[in-house]
Amino acid sequence: MTVTSSPPGIPDPERLTAWISGNLDGAGPAELSGIQLIVGGRSNLTYRLSLANGSAGPADLVLRRPPLGHVLPTAHDMSREFRVLSGLWGTAVPVARPLAMCADTEVIGAPFYLMAYVPGQVMRTRQDTSALTEAQAASLSERLADMLAAIHGTDLAATGLTGLGKGAGYLRRQLDRWQRQMEQSRSRDVPGYDELVARLTAAIPPEGDVTLVHGDFRLDNVLVTVDPKPRIAAVVDWEMATLGDPLADLGLTLVYWAEAGEREQATPGIGTDGTTAPGFMSRNEFATAYSERTGRDVSRISYYIAFGYFKLAVVVEGIYARFLKKQTVGEGFGREGELVPALVARAHEVLDADDPA
């Protein structure tokens, strides 16, 4: 065994190696030459594992496990995420090939799964996208619209995902769920939060289509290759996937979609201003492109954007609560607390702008 350190979240690399040797086809006897935490995520932990023995199995693997410490009920279900990848593998929605699922918490202290490593670039900030030409940025916008439409066009029966969620009544269930999450996570009163919940509850749109929804679709949740035209090599981070209203996915995507010329990004402090580079679509253009691909009416998209801010505020509050308990891995978590009131305020601004009164 050549891994001498125990990365946070993987306390016993030798035990992990033994499990891989015994459970991953073609890997044994395995030897790990490195375990690298892939930084940038704020929830489930992701690691790149390097196999040093030159076996017939993959030379590089990716491991996903829940965050450290206590996690909220129904959150961070590794088997659910593994099921989604298994269903989507080989479809029009590119994902990393799922390899093995481990429910035994004795191996690394939590359930986890392994998938194949997919080469590709994560584009999150303006610095990441600055090397794109305007034509490439425009093309990448188109590919993102294609991909969101493809996710929502997934054949649920063919992929075995018909039972992934209840579907009907999605928005009301989501409002209830995220309120429960907030009550279990928050460490302080958040100005405007209760009023936001009341506004969203009173204005729930009529029931629409039920599709697979990613739950966190954005520029930095795809792996991109540019050769010379941008291509999406894989869609990642499926931990919030379920069946529900596809416009909720679009709304959250637009929460993260900053526009060129804005003094600050669409989502303050989240670090996703990559779409401000010349050539990227505006939010309205992206919503229109999605509508053209799917035929869906996006005239009430402001509600879904505000809903996206609400959901993100709850997620960030949970991350901040884990930071206060010293249960986060990586840097920058201390700033999460100040984002929550800003996200709630931004949701109110979106609803105010859409209010004809």
SS3 of 328-352: the string is CCCCCHHHHHHHHHHHHHHHHHHHH
Same domain (yes/no): 219, 90: no
Find, among 219, 184, 139, the residue nearest to 315 by Cα.
184
Averaged over 308-330, what is the pLDDT? 78
- 54-68, 104-118, 169-183, 336-350: segment of lowest average pLDDT: 54-68
Contact (CB, 8 A) for 136 and 123: no
User: What is the DSSP annotation of 106-162?
Assistant: TTTSS-EEEEE----B---SHHHHTTS-HHHHHHHHHHHHHHHHHHHT--HHHHT-T
Instruction: Judge if 169 and 296 occupy the same domain.
Output: yes
Average pLDDT of the chain is 87
- Considering only CA atoms, which of 187, 218, 172 is closest in space to residue 318? 187
- The answer on 42 and 136 residing in a single domain is no
Listed residues 89, 116, 143: the one ending a domain: 116
At residue 102, the 3 state secondary structure works out as: strand
With beta carbons less than 8 A apart as the criterion, state whether 68 and 11 touch. no
**4 in a domain, yes or no?**
no
Residue type, 321: A
Q: Does residue 133 sit in the same domain as residue 60?
A: no
Q: Is the pLDDT of residue 181 over 90?
A: no
Q: Same structural domain for residues 133 and 99?
A: no
Among 88, 116, 144, the domain-final residue is: 116
Query: pLDDT tens digits, residue range 210-254?
Result: 999 999 999 999 999 998 899 999 999 999 999 999 999 999 999
Do 90 and 233 lie in one domain? The reply is: no
Q: What amino acid occupies position 95?
A: V
Task: Provide the CATH number for the domain around residue 30.
Answer: 3.30.200.20
CA–CA separation, 45 and 112 (whole Å):
10
Q: What is the largest CA-CA distance in the chain?
A: 68
Domain boundary among 83, 98, 116: 116
Please check whether residue 5 lies inside any domain of the structure. Answer: no
**pLDDT tens-place string over residues 30-55:** 788 889 888 765 578 999 998 876 44
- Same structural domain for residues 199 and 267? yes
Buried b (16+ CB within 10 A) or exposed e, 140-177: bbbbbbebbbbbbebebeebebeebbebeebbeebbeb
- 277 and 145 housed in the same domain: yes
Query: Looking at the 3D structure of the chain, how many domains does it have?
Result: 2
Please report whether residue 344 resides in a domain.
Answer: yes
CATH of the domain at 163: 3.90.1200.10
Q: Is 37 left (phi over 0), alpha (psi -120 to 50) or beta?
A: beta
Looking at residue 283, its pLDDT comes to 95
For residue 49, the SS3 value is: strand
- Looking at the domain assignment, is residue 41 inside a domain? yes
Task: Check whether 347 has a pLDDT greater than 90.
Answer: yes
Same domain assignment for residues 222 and 278: yes
Look up the pTM and report it. 0.89
Confidence at 261, pLDDT banded by 50, 70, 90: confident
Same domain membership, residue 185 and residue 110? no
Range of the domain at 68: 13-116
Q: Which two tokens stand for residue 1?
A: 């065994």
Residue 262 lies in a domain: yes
1: in domain: no
Residues 293 and 180 in one domain: yes
Give the sheet arrangement for strand 98-102, strand by strand.
Answer: 32-37, 45-51, 60-65, 112-116, 98-102
Q: How far apart are CA 293 and CA 304, in angstroms?
A: 19
Q: Tell me what pLDDT residue 151 has.
A: 98
The rounded distance, in Å, linking the Cα atoms of 280 and 163 is 36
Whether 334 is covered by a domain: the verdict is: yes
- 3-state secondary structure (DSSP) of residue 279: coil
Residue 3 maps to a domain? no
Does residue 130 share a domain with residue 105? no
Q: Give the separation between CA 123 and CA 339, rounded to whole angstroms.
A: 22
Token duo for residue 355: 């209010």
Q: What is the pLDDT of residue 185?
A: 77
